[in-house]
Structure 1
């Protein structure tokens, strides 16, 4: 059993600072000294205005920050793995954590079918795949997310924006991750589809102790989940609490209160 399998908490973030660099100047901090803990099977929602750093923080914790983004202070243990120095365990991190980026739904691979897209986390990691079992797994996920089984053979251009978003979510859940980090998972979804997605995520919390770290921009999205809320402004944590009605704010955060209470 690996260290990540025995982590008591999904995320332990300790004074974490993250910077962007273009390679020509000094790194610019986008996250500065953020600390929080996400317990096993719990949910946390990151909120904040555009440019607050929440998407960068989510991507970094999922091990998908990309080039030009680095941890410059503190650390975070995600499923027991340091995001500052993951080393060889980076591969395990990307299996244990299902990640949905902000543009994953709109930017699905145009030349792949829905079935190929959803199954990619399996087919990209294993040379030999039981295609019958994989097809059944894909069909189950599509059905759970309210997508018709006939969608499996379609291409992204044949789907609505809401259907593409749910395909991206299905791909995120393909490996039964212990933790899902999702940036605006309810984007482009109508009211009915939002409830289907919320129910699917919360079902995994109850049954599998899957943890959730979500990024949201609107109070409605926050209210749909029974979750702690961490508010960011300019890379700093300025508010925290369980649900938007029970948040404690720093003294200068009046504008941020309005962001999540509207």
Structure 2
């Protein structure tokens, strides 16, 4: 089932706008506006932004997860521009094409490690995405595939019979990563892959993603609020602020000559860590004033 590197740009968006429809007393909300990004085969791009910047919405849409039934009924919708993932156009994508798309995209969701099914063993958890895609998949081959993946994420095979509550947070994160990669996707979308773990575990997890990407040649979009995480894994980064991509390039390029106030605040924080909060707050305030002036 392994796909390896994509032969087409795994992600290509142009002026993409994503909106949450009105629900209850809440009006419609534009979460992402004018988002343009192209990821090349085998490339790792990091998406940096604070909470509420729209980066997780991007992950949900580009992974196809936004088009799957949601118990809340509140799903983001593409309302402008275009998005193509592994050659599949996402606007009005059919169920059949969505099913084919999911064969090539592994999603490591933001809370993946904390939402592993508590009544399933690690072996069952890691095997589940394969069986969701192909119920007739050979069980013996799948067992070997799962064991190989557990070994690849640097866990002992003894965990296969264990349950999530018996594992540490770092081990659960590795299980979640194994689950996202077990079917050999051409593209990994990892949303806050180091959330909820300490610094030592954080570095180990992100380095593991980097090692697996080099070994398996998949493309990746890694999303984080932590620049230190993206510095360890990404070829390029994009910076999101209030639903807009306000910086894109290598880390050096983005912060050497930033044009947006928010990115300027981040750049200043890198040079003078003690003033990080002040600089970023000032940049955000400047942004808010600009938005208010434009609206008046």
- For normalisation by structure 2, the TM-score amounts to 0.79
Residue of structure 2 in register with 1:20 after alignment: 20
Question: Which structure carries more strand by proportion?
Answer: 1
2:221 equivalent among 201, 213, 223: 213
CA distance in 2, matches of 1:234, 1:122: 36
1:106 equivalent among 110, 114, 136: 114
1:251 equivalent among 250, 256, 260: 260
CA distance in 2, matches of 1:259, 1:92: 43
Instruction: Note the residue ranges of structure 2 that are not aligned, 5 or more in a row.
Output: 274-296
Residue of structure 2 in register with 1:54 after alignment: 55
CA distance in 1, matches of 2:165, 2:268: 38
Distance change in 2, residues 1:52/1:195 (3 Å):
closer
Instruction: Note the residue ranges of structure 1 that are not aligned, 5 or more in a row.
Output: none
1:174 equivalent among 179, 182, 185: 182
1:80 equivalent among 74, 87, 104: 87
Question: Which structure carries more helix by proportion?
Answer: 2
CA distance in 1, matches of 2:45, 2:247: 13
Deviation string 1:212-261 (CA, Å, 9 cap, x unpaired) is 00101112201111421000000011111212x22153332233435777
In the comparison of the two structures, how many residue pairs are matched? 257
Residues 118-197 of structure 1: matches in 2 within 5 Å?
118-189=126-197, 193-194=201-202, 197=205
Distance change in 2, residues 1:113/1:126 (3 Å):
same
Residue of structure 1 in register with 2:235 after alignment: 227
Residue of structure 2 in register with 1:116 after alignment: 124
SS in 2 for 1:118: helix
Distance change in 2, residues 1:83/1:260 (3 Å):
farther
CA shift, 1:58, in A, is 1.0
The structure whose Rg is larger is 2
Distance change in 2, residues 1:147/1:259 (3 Å):
farther
SS in 2 for 1:249: coil
CA shift, 1:205, in A, is 3.7
Distance change in 2, residues 1:168/1:241 (3 Å):
same
CA distance in 2, matches of 1:57, 1:258: 27
CA distance in 1, matches of 2:108, 2:148: 19
- The structure 1 segments of at least 4 consecutive aligned residues displaced by more than 6 Å after TM superposition are none
Greater alpha carbon shift after TM alignment, 191-200 vs 214-223 = 191-200
- For normalisation by structure 1, the TM-score amounts to 0.89
